[in-house]
Structure 1
């Protein structure tokens, strides 16, 4: 189901992504949820893909940062 607030996002998103990346995730997830007929798994894949266009995970620290 769509996420109304950033606080509704899964812990794996909230605990690891900066706020801006969370906003990207939320918007992409919600759009994909509607576009792909409420396919939750697909919506999560689309959301992570959107985040990865602007952010990358630093392998040494494990933190996500803007590209």
Structure 2
């Protein structure tokens, strides 16, 4: 299901990603979710797409996500 705000994101995402990365995740997920309407893997594709979008702008160092320079 699409996420209206960052507060609606799953707890692991909210607790691990900084706010800007959460914005990226939410927007990418919502766009992908809408684009794959009717696909039985719609939600899985949305989450994979969202993580890929986050990883383009952030890198994980230890247990923290840091913006790429």
Q: CA separation in 2, counterparts of 1:12 and 1:41?
A: 16
For residues 22 and 44 of structure 1, the distance between their equivalents in structure 2, rounded to whole angstroms, comes to 12
**Partner Cα separation in structure 1 for residue 46 and residue 34 of structure 2:** 9
TM-score normalised by the chain length of structure 1: 0.93
RMSD over aligned CA atoms reads 0.9
2:9 aligns to what?
A: 9
Scaled by the length of structure 2, the TM-score of the pair is 0.90
Greater shift, 32-41 or 44-53, is seen at: 32-41
State the partner residue of 1:51: 54
Distance 1:21 1:53 in 2: 10
Query: Which runs of 5 or more structure 1 residues have no equivalent in the other structure?
Result: none
How many residues get paired? 65
